[in-house]
């Protein structure tokens, strides 16, 4: 028994001696919203930022603080947040993603709670505290790339009229963003589809228009005449490549997926 105990004792400490040592290096007095690098993953690719900083929101000073990797202070960013709004997230610390200068950019997600509802606001700032772009009512913000390498923003809005989405194209300049609404309508089915998909729509009596089918990159694939006598079409997607598509009529649009 003594030999067994001695064997287990030596084995345990030999194992501990080989284990990775984890040592506390530094403590922040608040949550770190954004760190050294940030990857944006989707089905098509990964966007990697080229910033190597820690970014936090310091509630005491009401500032965004940017630190170097050695924890020295890089910059205090003074931001005039909308009255009564609280920061819910900092994200996408980047350089030259949203424009072409050498200033650090980051996205601030804000929220305002009251007795009736929650209001959201998402703002793109640079390290000088300047607003590059405001996304009103947006509570969810993500960046993705398409299969042909285009960088786009997907912003989800929450308003009293419901949930909506906006897609922005990024051409290395915020001023060149082109917005496309994707409003919530009756869902396509089956979704995802393999050979055929039903696309619902709703028109007033006597009305007719054209339904457009786009790739996610904005390429027009089909233009289909529709009128008020029906409330859906059945689209053959057997020759579509696997991926996401948008159908639109009268400024109303939604997405569907082809496997």
With respect to residue 190, please indicate whether it lies within any of the assigned structural domains: no
Judgement on whether residues 60 and 152 belong to the same structural domain of the protein: yes
37 plus 158 within the same structural domain:
yes
- Looking at the fold, whether 212 and 178 belong to one and the same domain comes out as no
Longest CA–CA separation in the chain, Å = 94
Considering the domain architecture, whether residues 117 and 202 belong to the same structural domain is answered as no
Q: Is the pTM of this model over 0.85?
A: no
Total domains, the chain: 2
> Does residue 174 share a domain with residue 126?
yes
Q: Tell whether 177 and 200 lie within a shared domain.
A: no
Considering the domain boundaries, does residue 253 fall inside one?
Answer: yes
CA distance 39 to 50: 10
The SS3 of residue 199 is: strand
Domain shared by 204 and 167, yes or no? no
Structural domain that includes position 241: 196-258
105 closest CA partner among 31, 28, 170, 61 = 170
pLDDT at res. 194: 92
Of 233, 240, 154, nearest to 195 by C-alpha is 240
**CA 232 from chain center: how many Å?**
31
Residue 191 lies in a domain: no
Give yes or no: residues 179 and 205 share one domain. no
pLDDT value at position 7?
Answer: 58
Q: Which domain-ending residue is among 125, 156, 183?
A: 183
pLDDT one digit per residue (tens) for the chain, 259 residues: 556 565 555 555 555 555 567 788 777 777 666 554 444 443 333 444 556 788 888 878 888 888 888 889 999 999 887 777 888 888 877 887 787 788 888 888 888 887 777 888 899 999 999 998 888 888 888 877 666 667 788 888 877 777 788 888 876 444 444 444 444 456 788 989 999 999 988 888 888 889 989 887 778 899 999 998 888 899 999 999 998 898 888 877 788 999 9
Same domain, yes or no: 151 and 71 = yes
- Are 252 and 185 a contacting pair, CB within 8 Å? yes
What lies within 8 Å, CB to CB, of 102 at 6+ separation is 95, 96
Interatomic CA distance for residues 97 and 65, integer angstroms: 20
User: What is the helix (H) or strand (E) element at residue 249, kind and residue range?
Assistant: strand 243-249
d(CA 204, CA 228): 6
**58 vs 90, 201, 237, CA distance in Å?**
12, 48, 51
Residue 132, C-beta contacts closer than 8 angstroms, at least 6 positions apart: 98, 99, 105, 124, 125, 126, 174
Burial class of residue 135 in the structure, from the number of CB atoms within 10 Å of its CB (0-12 exposed, 13-18 middle, 19+ buried): buried
- Residue 251 tokens read as 């400024």
Give yes or no: residues 51 and 162 share one domain. Answer: yes
Cα 169 to Cα 178: distance, rounded to the nearest angstrom:
6
Q: Quick check: is 94 in a domain?
A: yes
- The CATH code of the domain that includes 248 is 2.60.40.10
Residue 5 domain-assigned (yes or no): no
Q: What is the pLDDT of residue 224?
A: 94
Give the chain's radius of gyration (CA, Å). 25
- Whether residue 137 is found in the same domain as residue 244: no
The reply to whether 112 falls in a domain is yes
Could you tell me how far CA 9 lies from the centroid of its own chain?
A: 51
Classify the phi-psi angles of 74: left when phi > 0, otherwise alpha if psi is within -120 to 50, otherwise beta: alpha
pLDDT of residue 130: 92
């Amino acid at each position: 028994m003594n030999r067994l105990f001695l064997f287990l004792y030596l084995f345990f400490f030999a194992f501990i001696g080989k284990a990775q040592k984890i040592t506390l290096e530094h403590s922040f007095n608040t949550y770190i919203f954004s760190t050294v690098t940030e990857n944006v993953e989707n089905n098509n690719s990964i966007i990697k930022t080229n910033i190597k900083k820690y970014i936090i929101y310091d509630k005491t000073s009401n500032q965004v603080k940017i630190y170097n990797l050695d924890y020295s202070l890089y910059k205090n960013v003074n931001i005039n947040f909308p009255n009564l709004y609280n920061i819910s997230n900092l994200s996408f610390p980047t350089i030259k993603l949203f424009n072409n200068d050498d200033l650090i950019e980051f996205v601030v997600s804000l929220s305002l709670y009251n007795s009736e509802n929650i209001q959201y606001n998402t703002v793109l700032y640079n390290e000088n505290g300047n607003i590059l772009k405001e996304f009103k009512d947006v509570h969810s913000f993500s960046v993705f790339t398409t299969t042909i390498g285009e960088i786009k923003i997907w912003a989800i809005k929450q308003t009293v009229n419901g949930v909506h989405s906006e897609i922005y194209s990024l051409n290395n300049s915020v001023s060149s963003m082109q917005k496309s609404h994707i409003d919530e309508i009756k869902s396509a089915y089956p979704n995802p589809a393999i050979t055929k998909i039903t696309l619902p729509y709703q028109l007033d009596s006597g009305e007719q228009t054209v339904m457009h089918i786009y790739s996610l990159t904005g390429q027009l694939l089909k233009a289909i005449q529709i009128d008020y006598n029906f409330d859906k079409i059945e689209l053959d997607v057997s020759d579509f490549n696997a991926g996401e598509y948008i159908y639109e009529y009268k400024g109303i649009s939604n997405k569907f997926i082809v496997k």
